Structure 1
Amino acid sequence: MAILVAIAIHEFSHAWAADYLGDPTPRLQGRLKLNPLVHIDKIGILFLLFFGFGWGKPVQFDPYNLKEPRRDGAIISLAGPSSNFILAIILSLLLKLFIVLQLNFLIIIGSLIFVPVIRMNIILGVFNLLPIHPMDGFKIVAGILPEEKAHEWNQLQKYGMIFLILLIFPIAGSSMLSNILLPIVDFISNLLITIPKTEIM
């Protein structure tokens, strides 16, 4: 369930941002929904299940419908990871509230449901910020760079999947990607999920 929630909010946010910025393409393609079934990418979810990192079905948008194609494209790309982090923060605050109010039943339910969803959203958010095509981070960098540099940057698209597979493929029991990203994921998870003793009292 945590995987589906993270993917649904991520891709819906891409679609919403594109629609808000003037491109109806995602809405016309039925992507402006929180239904996870319309956002699942078969390969992406398999990677998520077996390697711990993955992605949803990419939301398509037409840059010609945007007022500032490069800037707006970067905003659309940033919307996905941002939504994952925002949801993780909201759920962690709710869980902390349950603890402060000593709502034991809700603490148990929150620990069982919220914690996996928080962690999965952090994983998806961090992973998608990688500056490697087809991750959102690659498009965000392209939107920030000066136009000439962005053109050079976009030439790296063709190598993206090769880099990604090399990073994800496990070597000696763990992948380079896990070694790079998991410490970041763990750090953010500990910040959001760990409840200080002063708050419990």
Structure 2
Amino acid sequence: MITWLDILFQVLILFFSVVLHEVAHGYAALTLGDPTARDAGRLTLNPIKHMDPWGTVVLPLFLILIRSPFLVGWAKPVPVNPYLLRDPKRGMMLVGAAGPLANISLILLSAIALRVLPFSAPPLLFDLFKFCCAINIILALFNLVPVPPLDGSKVVAGLLPPKLRDAYVGLERYGIFLIIGLLYLGLLDQVIIPLYRVIFYLLVQA
């Protein structure tokens, strides 16, 4: 049974995780020559700067109301100007990969913490790291789906020839509809959730 304390933990972890995800994009862009996110004041862990009405308010609240076993969401994307990157093609691939890599880092740190915590540690501490692992596995898997504007599409776009890349990136205007369609067709139930269960088992329960 999920308690209100569990929900609070998940909300705090979700906010921190999606904010770190976007800050990672911004720092990657800055390192590669684009200061746009820094100049916009987005290289901060202050969640107020990254709030997205749908991704950080409506969706998590909806999932709480339907008593979802875990929360997911997103923050407002940091601005990136590919024309300011020293190598736009390679740079966008690295910027796109930075967000999921931030989530993967949190997954690994949480899994390590669960392994080294003594059995005498407070149960709430175990719950905290389990939630952090679970939420970030879902976030990483979802963002790696190669559908524009998700991060996986940035990596794929960098591997395509110019004409095909332009057509692929052009799908971004229909991105939300493509994502909804894929979810309707079972992306979550048939792909992401099974992968999540395997990864969570190997890292946390094995």
Report TM bin, short chain: 0.7 to 0.9
Gaps of 5+ in 2: 1-11, 64-70
1:150 aligns with 2:197: no
2:4 is aligned to none
CA-to-partner distance for each residue in 1:88-145, whole Å, 9 max, x for gaps? 10111011011xxx35125x24312111111111111111111112211112211121
The answer as to whether partners of 2:14 and 2:73 remain within 8 angstroms in 1 is no
2:149 is aligned to 134
The answer as to whether partners of 1:7 and 1:36 remain within 8 angstroms in 2 is no
CA change 1:142–1:48 in 2 (3 A) is farther
1:11 aligns with 2:22: yes
Q: Which amino acid aligns with 1:192?
A: L
Q: Which amino acid aligns with 1:3?
A: L
When normalised by structure 2's length, the TM-score is: 0.82
CA-to-partner distance for each residue in 1:162-188, whole Å, 9 max, x for gaps? 11122345xxxxx72321211111111
1:105 aligns with 2:130: no
SS class of match (2:166):
helix
Gaps of 5+ in 1: 170-174, 197-201
How far apart, CA to CA, are the structure 2 residues paired with 1:133 and 1:54? 17
When normalised by structure 1's length, the TM-score is: 0.84
How far apart, CA to CA, are the structure 2 residues paired with 1:129 and 1:87? 16
How far apart, CA to CA, are the structure 2 residues paired with 1:20 and 1:49? 35
How far apart, CA to CA, are the structure 2 residues paired with 1:183 and 1:16? 32
1:39 is aligned to 50
1:163 aligns with 2:178: yes
> How much has 1:152 moved relative to structure 2?
2.4
The answer as to whether partners of 1:129 and 1:135 remain within 8 angstroms in 2 is yes
Pairing 1:61-80 to 2, within 5 Å after superposition: 61-80=80-99
How many pairs are equivalent? Answer: 186
